């Protein structure tokens, strides 16, 4: 098949691994910088140019669109979809997952366990807003934060109130959640490809922190996710419409709770911790999908 990877940098580990896995399996693959793709939209058809030349005929497109270019990147991806390319993660699914509030509402509506979450707009309502959540500790999260930056723990009602007030003063978007203490600084990344969890790793926060992100000094080890955990991870990815997803779970006394669903999960941490060919699984899943749709025969 003829594959495109939408990525700003072909040297990134995940991009390199996907290229390698595609070539190993005999596919043609090209890395396209989404910001260099431009498009013609007309009722008689859709077309795209890349660095001065027309491009077309991609059987599938793998999006690796960073958070900072979500809007333009998903528009480019949508153009590929309109031109007939398959993608494991459609533009609308990426937009659902990137908007944390929307994703939270959609997942909870399907009965998927999550930490109880509140959010609101008006400073006059802060005290009542926090009372809807229950007593601290609380976890306060910036909506646009990643890799653990912008995730704070408050242990007293006055601390929750002042952090909320400070963030409001900065016009930041944030949510407040119950703190799941029994997780003891650990979470579980389930890597979903199609209808399988192909690898799972447990990440443990460093001493003195509750955030298990590897960028914050967390350490990862390969684990076998339980049937319940696999089930929740697959359902969460499906509700958002993602075929490739990094679903972060936290183990609570009321079962696995989804913290977030990443639509562009990194491959480096998980491949290294688990020794699995995750890139190969992604390529094989796309090929299987096209084969079933009768779109490619190799």
Instruction: Tell the burial category of 89 from Cβ atoms under 10 Å away from its Cβ (0-12, 13-18, 19+).
Output: buried
Which 251-290 positions form the footprint of ligand ADP (CB under 6 A)? 259-260
Report the residue number, 51 or 215, with the smaller CB distance to ligand ADP: 215
Q: Tell me the two tokens of residue 63.
A: 């999006």
Report the residue number, 66 or 194, with the smaller CB distance to ligand ADP: 66
CB 160 within 8 A of CB 136: yes
Cα distance between residue 173 and residue 120, in whole Å: 9
Contact pick of 34, 90, 115, 269 for ligand ADP (by CB under 6 A): 115
Q: How many residues does the chain have?
A: 298
Instruction: Establish whether 178 is an annotated binding residue.
Output: yes
Strand order in the sheet with 196-204: 219-222, 196-204, 186-193, 244-252, 255-262
Instruction: Establish whether 187 is an annotated binding residue.
Output: yes
Contact pick of 95, 107, 187, 263 for ligand ADP (by CB under 6 A): 187
Q: Is 177 among the residues that bind ligand ADP (CB under 6 A)?
A: yes
Cα distance between residue 296 and residue 116, in whole Å: 45
Residue 272 interacts, among Mg ion, ligand ADP, none and using kind-specific CB cut-offs from 5 to 8 Å, with none
User: Which of 124, 153, 240, 257 has its CA nearest to residue 192?
Assistant: 240
Beta bridge partners of 204: 186, 219
Q: Is 148 among the residues that bind ligand ADP (CB under 6 A)?
A: yes
Cα distance between residue 16 and residue 180, in whole Å: 36
Residue 78 interacts, among Mg ion, ligand ADP, none and using kind-specific CB cut-offs from 5 to 8 Å, with none
Cα distance between residue 90 and residue 92, in whole Å: 6
Q: Tell me the two tokens of residue 126.
A: 């802060």
Residue 151 interacts, among Mg ion, ligand ADP, none and using kind-specific CB cut-offs from 5 to 8 Å, with ligand ADP
Instruction: Establish whether 92 is an annotated binding residue.
Output: no
Candidates 15-23, 128-136, 174-182, 235-243: pick the segment binding ligand ADP (CB under 6 A).
174-182
What residue ranges bind ligand ADP (CB under 6 A)? 115, 139, 141, 145-148, 151, 177, 179-180, 183, 187, 205, 210-213, 248, 250, 259-260
Binding-site sequence positions = 141, 178-179, 187, 211-213, 248, 260, 262
- Annotated binding-site members for Mn(2+): 248, 260, 262
């Amino acid at each position: 098949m003829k594959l495109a990877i939408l990525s700003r940098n072909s040297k990134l580990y995940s991009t390199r691994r996907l290229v390698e896995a595609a070539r190993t399996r005999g596919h043609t693959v090209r890395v396209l910088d989404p910001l260099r793709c431009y498009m013609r939209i007309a009722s008689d058809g859709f077309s795209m140019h890349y660095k001065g030349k027309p491009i077309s005929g991609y059987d599938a497109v793998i999006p690796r669109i960073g958070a900072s270019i979500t809007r333009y990147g998903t528009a480019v991806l949508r153009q590929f979809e309109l031109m007939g390319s398959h993608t494991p993660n459609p533009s609308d699914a990426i937009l659902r997952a990137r908007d944390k509030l929307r994703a939270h509402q959609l997942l909870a509506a399907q009965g998927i366990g999550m930490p109880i979450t509140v959010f609101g707009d008006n400073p006059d309502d802060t005290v009542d807003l926090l009372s809807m959540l229950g007593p601290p500790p609380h976890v306060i999260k910036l909506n646009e934060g990643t890799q653990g930056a912008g995730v704070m723990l408050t242990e007293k009602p006055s601390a929750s109130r002042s952090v909320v007030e400070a963030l409001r003063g900065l016009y930041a978007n944030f949510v407040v959640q119950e703190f799941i203490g029994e997780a003891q600084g650990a979470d579980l990344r389930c890597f979903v490809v199609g209808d399988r969890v192909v690898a799972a790793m447990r990440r443990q926060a460093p001493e003195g922190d509750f955030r298990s992100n590897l960028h914050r000094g967390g350490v990862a080890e390969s684990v076998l996710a339980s049937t319940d955990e696999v089930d929740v991870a697959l359902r969460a990815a499906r509700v958002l419409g993602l075929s490739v997803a990094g679903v972060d779970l936290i183990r609570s006394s009321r079962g696995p709770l989804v913290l977030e669903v990443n639509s562009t999960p990194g491959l480096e941490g998980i491949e290294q911790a688990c020794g699995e060919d995750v890139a190969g699984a992604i390529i094989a899943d796309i090929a299987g999908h096209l084969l079933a749709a009768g779109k490619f025969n190799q």
